[in-house]
Amino acid sequence: MPESAAFRDDRAHVFHSWSAQRALAPAVVAGGEGAWFWDEAGRRYLDFSSQLVNLNLGHQHPTVVRAIQEQAATLCTVAPTFANPARSEAARLIAEIAPGDLRHVFFTNGGTEANEHAVRMARHTTGRHKILAAYRSYHGATTGSITLTGDPRRWPNEPAMPGVVRFFGPYAYRSAFHASSEEQEGERALAHLEEVFTLEGAHTIAAVILEPVVGTNGILVPPDGYLRGVRELCDRHGVLLIADEVMSGFGRCGEWFAVDRWGVVPDLITFAKGVNSGYVPLGGVVLGPRVYETFAQAPYPGGLTYSGHPLACAAAVAAITVMRDEQVNATVRRLGEEVVRPRLAKLQERHPSVGEVRGLGLFWAIELVRDRDTREMLVPYNASGAAAAPMAEVAAACKERGLWPFTHFNRVHVVPPCVTSAEDLALGLDILDDALDAADRYYT
């Protein structure tokens, strides 16, 4: 097929995220419906990426599309100083589903801004400056959030925000603590965090920020008791807990928020993506009383022109309502346990290169290795170019068979829309099964 105008203009003028620009050849996406999308040549793909783990309700959900159209016909924008029905209702719905006593919402345009503001709120509230952030985390690409980020995307952007101190979260498969069980990993990770508090001086720490279930860095589900332990540790020292639920929230884990699974109530929750399935950019911070009261009399020194944008909020109202009425969380839990977990276990039996499978809800990782005993990664940490070829081959094998995968370093993440049918899930996992032969060829 000859190059289309869309492709030519893209290559001539669009500067893409995170990429060397010259060699890019992005697929030109023409449309989508539910768990599927198609390119301009009509080639259809089952979307096992949810467009950066964003599109929880799938492509073109009619209720959300209609809500945006109706809001656009009524009022496209209004400054954040005003009240507006879409914004008010979105805030109320989010407050209703938020855990514990988190009742107020500060809206942003996405996840990274939410984390920037959460950090500022925490610093103002406590009068302290240090923020503890985990290795193997992603918190966004603006200056503060990229500093919080505990993966290689931070390196070329350093130095950035001062006051960020790093700690290890639990990751039993590659334990930093030489733990031999999930339980021990959780206990040792907590003891380690407590030691970081001591060595840094707990009275200098404003907040701990963490992804309750780590997303891009490996779908790391914490051992039971870990998050509760972090909460208690923070409480003992007057430190705020910020849960970054940008990826894990709004159905991805089969809960409104991942923390709900362990009954933990953070001081601040940051969200984006699934709040309206990314149909219009929206994120935000949900505030608990301690932070809210700090700004009840004194002004909060921060804001955004687009905070609580009516189109984005109308989409959020529709998306949350659909999720609630159609009980999407329960469906995600069932699909995760009844379809994904057993089939991934089979993949692990069949493919020597599958070192570990882990996850919950529709949030899973397949970790690929060259050797199960040594756990040598199929491609090295932060591999690119020729070093990343085995993963590129797995991704290409998926795409040839009509599956759009999400790959990161030595992992394939299984993160389809929350509305994917059991049949499509099974189809996608069958395709993955075939595609993983490409990884097995590198097994030593």
Least distance (Å) from ligand PLP to the CB of residue 47?
16
Distance CA 287, CA 268 (A): 5
Options 122, 234, 242, 246; binder of ligand PLP; rule CB under 6 A: 246
Footprint (CB under 6 A) of ligand PLP, residues 283-312:
283
Write out the H or E segment, with its range, that includes residue 297: helix 289-297
Distance CA 412, CA 254 (A): 20
Options 91, 131, 272, 286; binder of ligand PLP; rule CB under 6 A: 272
Is residue 143 within 8 Å of residue 178, measured between CB atoms?
A: no
Least distance (Å) from ligand PLP to the CB of residue 272?
4
Options 32, 58, 99, 110; binder of ligand PLP; rule CB under 6 A: 110
Is residue 418 within 8 Å of residue 332, measured between CB atoms?
A: yes
Least distance (Å) from ligand PLP to the CB of residue 175?
22
Three-class secondary structure of residue 363 per DSSP: strand
Nearer to ligand PLP, 129 or 408 (CB): 408
Least distance (Å) from ligand PLP to the CB of residue 244?
5
Return the closest-CA partner of residue 326 out of 63, 33, 36, 54. 63
Query: Any contact of residue 251 with ligand PLP (CB under 6 A)?
Result: no
Q: Name the closest residue to ligand PLP (Cβ).
A: 111
Query: Any contact of residue 139 with ligand PLP (CB under 6 A)?
Result: yes
Q: What is the CA radius of gyration of the chain?
A: 21
Order of strands, sheet of 406-408, starting from the edge strand that comes earlier in the sequence? 354-360, 363-368, 411-414, 406-408
Distance CA 291, CA 231 (A): 16
Least distance (Å) from ligand PLP to the CB of residue 280?
12
Nearer to ligand PLP, 113 or 182 (CB): 113
Q: What is the DSSP letter of 216?
A: T
- Where are the strands (E) in 11-162, listed by range? 29-33, 36-39, 44-47, 104-108, 130-134
Return the closest-CA partner of residue 350 out of 366, 334, 333, 361. 366
Least distance (Å) from ligand PLP to the CB of residue 271?
9
Query: Any contact of residue 410 with ligand PLP (CB under 6 A)?
Result: no
Tokens linked to 355 = 């070192």
Write out the H or E segment, with its range, that includes residue 284: strand 283-287
Least distance (Å) from ligand PLP to the CB of residue 241?
15
Nearer to ligand PLP, 142 or 294 (CB): 142
Looking at this protein, which amino acid is placed at residue 361?
G
Footprint (CB under 6 A) of ligand PLP, residues 29-48:
none
Query: Any contact of residue 279 with ligand PLP (CB under 6 A)?
Result: no
Least distance (Å) from ligand PLP to the CB of residue 211?
5
Tokens linked to 260 = 């709900």
Cα 194 from chain centre: 26
Is residue 254 within 8 Å of residue 360, measured between CB atoms?
A: yes
Options 215, 222, 336, 417; binder of ligand PLP; rule CB under 6 A: 215
Contact stretch for ligand PLP (CB under 6 A) within 3-11, 133-141, 224-232, 419-427: 133-141
Query: Any contact of residue 257 with ligand PLP (CB under 6 A)?
Result: no
Nearer to ligand PLP, 187 or 245 (CB): 245
Any idea of the CA torsion for 36, 37, 38, 43, to the nearest 10 degrees?
-30
Tokens linked to 87 = 């914004």
CB atoms within 10 A of CB 332: 26
Nearer to ligand PLP, 179 or 311 (CB): 311
Options 49, 51, 56, 112; binder of ligand PLP; rule CB under 6 A: 112
Query: Any contact of residue 117 with ligand PLP (CB under 6 A)?
Result: no
Query: Any contact of residue 151 with ligand PLP (CB under 6 A)?
Result: no
Query: Any contact of residue 111 with ligand PLP (CB under 6 A)?
Result: yes
Least distance (Å) from ligand PLP to the CB of residue 217?
9
# binding residues, ligand PLP (CB under 6 A): 16
Options 32, 140, 212, 428; binder of ligand PLP; rule CB under 6 A: 140
Least distance (Å) from ligand PLP to the CB of residue 22?
24
Three-class secondary structure of residue 24 per DSSP: coil
Distance CA 345, CA 328 (A): 24
Least distance (Å) from ligand PLP to the CB of residue 97?
18
Q: What is the DSSP letter of 253?
A: T
Footprint (CB under 6 A) of ligand PLP, residues 44-73:
52
Tokens linked to 122 = 């925490």
Options 138, 197, 363, 404; binder of ligand PLP; rule CB under 6 A: 138
Distance CA 253, CA 271 (A): 14
Residues that bind ligand PLP (CB under 6 A): 52, 110-112, 115, 138-140, 211, 215-216, 244, 246-247, 272, 283
